[in-house]
Structure 1
Amino acid sequence: MRLRSLEARLFLWLALAALMGALVYIGVTQWPMPQTLNWMHSELGLHVAEPDRTAAILLCVTVLAPLSWWFAHMVMQPVKRLLRALEGAVASYRDGDFSISIALNRGDELGDLVRVHNELGQTLREQRQNLAQRELLLDTVVQNTPVALVLTDGSGRVAYANIAARHLFNEGRSLNGLHFATLIADAPEALRKATEGTEDALFSVEMDGSEETFHLSQRAFRLQGRPHRLQLFRRMTRELSRQEVAAWKRVIRVVSHELNNSLAPISSLAHSGAELARRGDVQRLPGVFATIGERARHLHGFIDGYARFAKLPAPRTVAVEWKPFLDALALHCHFQLQGKAPTQPGWFDPVQIEQVLINLVKNAHESGSAPEGVTLALTLIGHELRIEVGDRGPGMSEAVLAQALLPFYSTKRSGTGLGLALAREISEAHGGRIALANREDGGLRVTLILPQPANAV
C-alpha cells in the first residue's frame, strides 16, 4: 500500500480520530477531569457530580462530532474538487470542447485519475485536429472535383453541393436549402427523368449550343439516422469521344489486317493466274480461281459479321417454350444441360438468344475443355432468368476478363473480337447483362441475365 494513497490517508485520519476519541474518553473518565472535579469540591467547595458512563459517552460524542465532521471534510475536500472539475470537463466534452485540462498534482489515485483524464483530453484534441484536417482536405477535393455532387435529405432539399454542381444547376450560386426537384423543373427532360429514377444513367442534353453527355451515379443511404441521397453528375462527352476514337482505331486496325490477309493472296493469285494464262498452262487455273474464291468468301463473311454487329435489330421478345428451344439449340452445338429447365416459358428474342448461346458454347469448346465439361444451366430467380454456360478450360486472366466484352478484343489468332461483344449487345438490348468469371474448380462461367415480366413468371 502506497503511503500517499487515499487508502493510507484515510487509515491515518481514522486512526487519528480513534486516538482522539480514546484520549477524550480517558480525559473524562480517568484524568484529568475526575481530579479537577475533586479539587473543585475540596478547595472551592463546589459540589459537581462526577459524570457516569452514559454522561461520559455523551460528552465524548459532543466533542468528537464536530471533530469527525472536520476529519471527513479534510478527507473528502480533494475528492469533491476533483469531481467538480471532472463534471466541468465532461460538460465541455459534450459541447465539443476538448481543451480542458485539470491542474491537480497529487501522488495518490486521484492524481493518477487526473493524469489519465488529461491524456484522454490530449488524445481527443489530436484526433479532432486530425479529423478537422482530413475534413478540410476532403472538402477541398470534393469542392474542386469536376464531377457535380449533390447531396439531398429525405425531403429532397439540398444539404451539400460542390462548386461544379452550383455552376451546373444554379449559375454558381449556393444550392443549400433549395428543393432539388424544383431547381431542375425547367431542366431538359432527359436530366429530369434520370434524376427521378434510382439507377445509374447515361443521358445527353443540349448545353451552350452543343450536346453534352452526362453519367449520373446515385446512391441512397442514411446519414446521422436520416435518409439522404447522393447524386454525381459526370461529364462524359470528352471521355466518350476518346473511347469512340479508340474504338474506331481498333476497327480500322482489325479491318486493315483482315483486308490485307485476304487481298494480298488474291492479288498474288491473280498475278499467278494471268501468268499461267499467258503461258497457256490452263490446267492449274481452276485451283487458282478456287483459292481466290475461298479468300473472297472469307472476306465476305468477315465483313458480313461486322455489318450484322452494327445493324443489330431491336429484340422481338416473345414467350419461349424451353424444350423446342433447347432441342433446336442442340442441333447447332453440343452441351450438357445441368438440372432442369424452368417450368415457366422464357421471355426473350429466341433468334438473338440462340445466336448468343451458339457463340458461347462454341467458345467453351474452343477453350480446350473436354466436351462433357461444357454445360448449360437455366435458373429463374425472382423476375430474372439466369443462363450460365460453363467449361473446364484454363479460364481467363484478370486482364483478359476486364477486356473480353469489348468490341474487337480477341485473344484468338484468327478471332474478330465480336462474339462476346455481340452477346453483350444483345443482352443489354433485352435490358439484361452478361458477366464472366473464373470457376473456383477450374474453367470459365459466362452468365447471361435477362429480365422477365411479372406476368410471365
Structure 2
Amino acid sequence: MTRKGLRLSLVTRWSALVGTLLALGILIALGLDHFFPEHPVLVFSVCLLAIVPIAIITIRTQIQPILSLFRALEGTVASYRDGDFSFSLHWPHNDELADLIAAHNALGQVLREQRLGLVQRELLLDTMVQNTPVAMLLVTDFAASAGTIVYANVAARQLLSEGRKLEGHQLRAVLETATPALREALARGGDGLFTAGDAEEEEVYHLARSSFTLNGRRHELLLLRHLTTELRRQEVQTWKKVIRVISHELNNSLAPLTSLAHSGAELVRRGQTERLPQILQTIGERTRHLETFILGYARFAKLPTPRLEARPWGVFVDRLADQVQFRLVGELPQEPAWIDAAQMEQALLNLLKNAHESGSAPEDVELQVRRVQEALRIDVLDRGTGMSDAVLTNALVPFYSTKRSGTGLGLALAREIAEAHGGRITLSNRDGGGLAVTMILPHPP
C-alpha cells in the first residue's frame, strides 16, 4: 500500500514540536528580560509557568492518537486470536505508523482470504462426507465398543438411528439397536466383511477402522460400506463367465464325442471294426479330459478348511520332486512346515507346472523356501517369457487364462490355498526374464 502526499516521519514531527516549544520559551524569556532586566529569577519562573503547561497539553494532544492506535491494534490482535479477521485500522498521517497500519491491514486481508478458502473447503468436504454412501462414525475414547460419537454422516444416521442425530450419544447405546453382526465385527477388531440379515434379505458390509490422536485424545474413525449390490453384480458376472467357460469346454468335448460315437456306430453297421479301438481310445481321452476339467472346478469350489499339521520340509519337498522336476535353491528351514500338506502340495504343483509351461527350460525351474522375519517365503522361479502388466493384474483372478486350453484355475486355486493358510501370493517379472511367484505364509510361533 502506498500513501500520497507529503511524508513526515515521527522523528521530523517530534523534532519540529520540540523546536517550536524551545523557540517559544526563548521568545518569552527575551520579552520578560526586556521589561524586568533586574529580576532574572522572576523571568525564569514566568517562563516555566508559561511553557510547561503548553508543552504538556501539546505533547498529550500528539500522544493521545498514538495511544488510541495502540489500543486498537491490541483489540484487532485479540480478534485475530479468536478467529475474527474482519477488522482493519486507519491512520491519517503519512509516517512510520501509517506503514505499520498498512502492513497490519494487509495481514488481515490475507487472513480473511485464507479463512474464506478454508470455509469453502470445509463446506465442500462436509458436503461430500455427508452425502457419501459410506457410513462414517468418529468416536472418541473408543474402547470395547464404548466411547462418544462426535461425528456421524447421513448414511451412518440412516443405518444406525433411522436418520436421527447421533452426535453426543454413547456408541454402546447406539449399538444396542444395531444388528448382532455389526456388534461382533466391532468387538472382533480390525477391518473385514460381515453379513447382516438372513436368506434373501442378507446384506454384506465392509468395516474399516483407523485410530488417531486429536487434541490429545484418542479417536477412532469407523467406515461402513454397503457392498451387497456390488457383490451381487460381480457374482452375476462371475456366473456368466463360469457358464461361458464350462459351455465352451463341454461343447469342445461333446461335439467330437458325438461325432466319434456316430462314426463308431456306422463302422459297426458296416462290419468295419478295425478302427474301433482307435475311436474308443479317442473317446476315452476326451472323457478323461472332461472329467479332469470338471474335477478342477469342483476342487476350487469345495476347498475345505486346511488342517494344519507339522510336516518336515525335506519329506514334503521330496514328494514334490517325485511329481515334477525343479531345482532346490538354498537350504530348507530347520523348523517343520505348519501346513495342510495335501492342499499345499496341490498349490505348489500348480505353480511348478505353470513354470514348466512358461517356456522355461526344465533346469531353470527353481523352488526356494526360507524364513523372512516372522513369515515363511516360498518362491517358484522360472526363466520363461514372463507376463505383461495386464496379465499380472488379472493372473490370480479365477477363470482368467491366456492359454488356449487353460481353465484359469491353477493360480486362483493356489491363491485360495495360500489365503486359507493366512498368507498371500504375489507375482513379479524377474530381471533377465522369467516370472517369480511368491507365497508368503505366517510362521508358527
Give TM-score, length-normalised by structure 1: 0.82
Select 2:181's aligned residue among 167, 176, 190.
190
**For structure 1, which segment, 445-454 or 406-415, has the greater mean C-alpha deviation from structure 2 after superposition?**
445-454
Q: Does 1:10 align with 2:11?
A: yes
**Residues 302-381 of structure 1: pairs in structure 2 closer than 5 A:** 302-369=293-360, 371=362, 374-381=365-372
**Where do 1:213-224 residues align within 5 Å?**
213-224=204-215
Following the alignment from structure 1 to structure 2, what is the Cα–Cα distance between the partners of residues 373 and 65? 108
Q: Against the structure 1 CA distance between its residues 110 and 279, is the aligned structure 2 distance closer, same or farther, given a 3 Å change threshold? A: farther
Aligned partner of 1:161 in structure 2 is: 152
User: For residues 240-259 of structure 1, what are the structure 2 equivalents within 5 Å?
Assistant: 240-259=231-250
The corresponding residue for 1:431 is 422
Matched, 1:110 2:110: no
Residues 56-71 of structure 1 aligned to structure 2 (within 5 Å): none
On the 8 A contact 1:158/1:180 being kept in 2, the answer is yes
Equivalent pair of 2:139/2:219 in contact (CA under 8 Å): yes
Q: Deviations over 1:233-276 (max 9, x none)?
A: 22222222222221111111111111111111122222223333
Answer yes or no: is 1:128 the counterpart of 2:119.
no
SS at match of 2:274: helix
Structure 1, unmatched stretches of 5+, are 42-46
Counterpart contact for 1:13–1:71, Cα < 8 Å: no
User: 1:179 matched to which residue of 2?
Assistant: 170
Map 1:93-104 onto structure 2 (within 5 A). 93-104=80-91
Percent identity (aligned): 54
**What is residue 226 of structure 2 aligned with on the other side?**
235
8 A contact 2:385–2:434 mirrored in 1: yes
Indicate the residue corresponding to 1:411 in structure 2. 402
How much has 1:21 moved relative to structure 2? 5.0
State the match for 2:252 in structure 1: 261
How has the CA–CA distance of structure 1 residues 71 and 451 changed in structure 2, closer, same or farther, with 3 Å as cutoff?
A: farther
Identify which of 91, 102, 109 aligns with 2:78. Answer: 91
Which residue identity does 2:296 align to in structure 1? G
Among 273, 276, 295, the residue aligned to 1:285 = 276
Q: Which moved more, 1:162-171 or 1:329-338?
A: 329-338
Higher mean alpha-carbon deviation, 193-202 vs 323-332, is at: 323-332
Contact preservation (8 Å) 1:148, 1:162: yes
User: CA 1:27–1:100 in 2, change beyond 3 Å: closer, same or farther?
Assistant: closer
What secondary structure sits across from 1:378 in the alignment? strand
1:393: Cα distance to partner?
Answer: 4.4
Q: 1:66 to 1:172 in 2, by over 3 A?
A: same
Deviation at 1:115, TM superposition (A): 3.1
User: Does the aligned pair in 1 maintain the 2:10–2:95 contact within 8 Å?
Assistant: no
2:442 matches 1:451: yes
Distance apart, 1:315 and its partner CA: 0.7
1:44 aligned partner: none
Q: Counterpart of 1:154 in 2: which secondary structure? A: strand
Cα deviation 1:152-207 (Å, max 9, x = unaligned)? 11142111112222232223322222221232245443322211133212122227
Q: Which whole-Å CA distance do the structure 1 matches of 2:230 and 2:103 have between them? A: 56
| TM-score of the pair, normalised by structure 2 | 0.84
**Structure 2: runs of 5+ lacking an equivalent:** none
| More deviation, 442-451/161-170 | 442-451
Distance 1:131 1:288, change over 3 A: same
Distance change (3 Å), C-alpha of 1:96 and 1:391: farther
- Please name the residue that 1:384 is paired with: 375
Cα offset, 1:65, TM superposition: 7.5
Matched, 1:204 2:191: no
What is the DSSP-based 3-state SS (H/G/I as helix, E as strand, rest coil) of the residue aligned with 1:249? helix
**Conservation of the 8 A alpha-carbon contact between 1:98 and 1:121:** yes
Deviations along 1:51-84, one digit per CA (max 9) or x if unpaired, are 9xxx99x999999887887787677666544433
8 Å CA contact retained: 1:10, 1:75 = no
Change (3 A) 1:176 1:17: same
Matched letter for residue 167 of structure 1: Q
State the number of aligned residues. 438
Alpha carbons of structure 1 residues 370 and 91: separation in structure 2 relative to 1, 3 Å:
farther
Aligned with 2:259: secondary structure?
helix
- Name the stretch that deviates more: 299-308 or 204-213: 204-213
Report if the CA contact (8 A) 2:350-2:410 is conserved.
yes
Distance 1:325 1:148 in 2: 48
2:139: which partner in 1?
A: 152
- Note closer, same or farther for the CA distance 1:40–1:61 as it changes in structure 2 (3 Å cut): closer
> 2:166 corresponds to which letter in structure 1?
L
Could you say what the CA RMSD is over the residues aligned between the two structures, in angstroms? 3.5
| More divergent stretch after superposition (401-410 vs 438-447) | 438-447
Amino acid at match of 2:302: K
Q: Deviation of residue 218 (structure 1)?
A: 1.6
